[in-house]
Amino acid sequence: MGRDTSPLHSVSGPTPPESDRPFDATVAAVGQVDPLPIRLRHVEKHFGDNHVLRGIDLEVPAGQFLAIVGKSGCGKSTLLRLLVGLDQPTAGSIDFHRRPGENAGGSARIVFQEPRLLPWATVADNVVVGLGEGVDKTAAHRRALNALHEVQLGDKADQWPSRLSGGQRQRVALARALVSRPGLLVLDEPLGALDALTRITMQQLVSRVWRELGCTAVLVTHDVAEAVNLADRVIVLDEGRIVLDLDVPATHPRRHGDLQLAVLERQLLEAILGDG
């Protein structure tokens, strides 16, 4: 993959919602992926009396695909928000240790369960939003088309989001995250609202895109089958602590129903349900 040196682009129109805004537009033009390693040291997060994360220690090597599973309310989304800098830990440190003192900034992108597309913008313009401000308009459009091709939606560039299916909208959200070639891709239950078959197709897409891009990926999911299908490693969070850290040694791409994966799924379920 060659380095894209196109300048930054200015996106006109209304300001997108906070969660859809690029984190640091000045770094958004980097073409080739430089996967971010992540290190968390004794990370705590409180919301008033609610002690949500309790001493999280975690090292994620550059390029790893990490999945996080756990009961509703155990702190998964809170942890993701800290990773991409949308919130700050109450105590402890998070660093991306090739760059001491820097946060993931413009090199991190997040995809949520709902695609959060701008209804008044075309599919291509929704993807351009992921580049931030200052990129030349023609270059931005070309890069958006490339990202749409990566998610097999090249033919939908001029459509309105309202004309797409749920799975297609989520692929646009993925393209918007990929267009800046992020070093860290964070996914908060991105397939949770999709039907079972679309979900499997999307899992294959996410797996392929991650392998091609070479970024570090952190996925939150409720689905242990999805976690072992996609990730190199799965951690289980319970009441703000890591209670299991499991390697998934199988090679990619993986097959649903594989016996080795089924054993890991069972181990994860037991840890989540607390009867292991």
Ligand X SMILES: Nc1ncnc2c1ncn2[C@@H]1O[C@H](COP(=O)(O)OP(=O)(O)OP(=O)(O)O)[C@@H](O)[C@H]1O
Residue 147 interacts with which of ligand X, Mg ion, none, CB < 5 to 8 Å by class: none
3-state secondary structure the chain: CCCCCCCCECCCCCCCCHHHCCCCHHHCCCCCCCCCCEEEEEEEEEECCEEEEEEEEEEECCCCEEEEEECCCCCHHHHHHHHCCCCCCCEEEEECCCCCCCCCHHHEEEECCCCCCCCCCCHHHHHHHHHCCEECHHHHHHHHHHHHHHCCCHHHCCCCHHHCCHHHHHHHHHHHHHCCCCCEEEEECCCCCCCHHHHHHHHHHHHHHHHHHCCEEEEECCCHHHHHHHCCEEEEEECCEEEEEEECCCCCCCCCCCHHHHHHHHHHHHHHHCCC
Quote the least distance from Cβ 124 to ligand X, whole Å. Answer: 31
Residue 63 interacts with which of Mg ion, ligand X, none, CB < 5 to 8 Å by class: none
How many residues bind Mg ion (CB under 5 A)? The answer is 2
Applying CB under 5 A, the span of 11-19, 71-79, 117-125, 141-149 interacting with Mg ion comes to 71-79
Task: Say whether residue 78 binds Mg ion (CB under 5 A).
Answer: no
- CA distances (Å), origin 239, targets 50, 59, 244: 10, 20, 13
Quote the least distance from Cβ 18 to Mg ion, whole Å. Answer: 17
Of 9, 23, 27, 76, which one interacts with ligand X (CB under 6 A)? 76
Contacts of 159 by beta carbon, 8 Å cutoff, 6+ apart: 122, 123
Of 33, 60, 70, 77, which one interacts with Mg ion (CB under 5 A)? 77
Task: Say whether residue 126 binds Mg ion (CB under 5 A).
Answer: no
Quote the least distance from Cβ 91 to ligand X, whole Å. Answer: 16
Quote the least distance from Cβ 75 to Mg ion, whole Å. Answer: 9
Closer residue to ligand X in complex, CB, 73/253: 73
Closer residue to ligand X in complex, CB, 74/157: 74
Quote the least distance from Cβ 40 to ligand X, whole Å. Answer: 15
Task: Say whether residue 221 binds Mg ion (CB under 5 A).
Answer: no
Of 31, 73, 253, 276, which one interacts with ligand X (CB under 6 A)? 73
Residue 78 interacts with which of ligand X, Mg ion, none, CB < 5 to 8 Å by class: ligand X
Closer residue to ligand X in complex, CB, 25/67: 67
Of 22, 63, 75, 161, which one interacts with ligand X (CB under 6 A)? 75
- Binders of ligand X among 7-26, rule CB under 6 A? none
Contacts of 1 by beta carbon, 8 Å cutoff, 6+ apart: 31, 32, 33, 212
Binding site residues, Mg ion, CB under 5 A = 76-77
Binding site residues, ligand X, CB under 6 A = 47, 50, 52, 70, 72-78
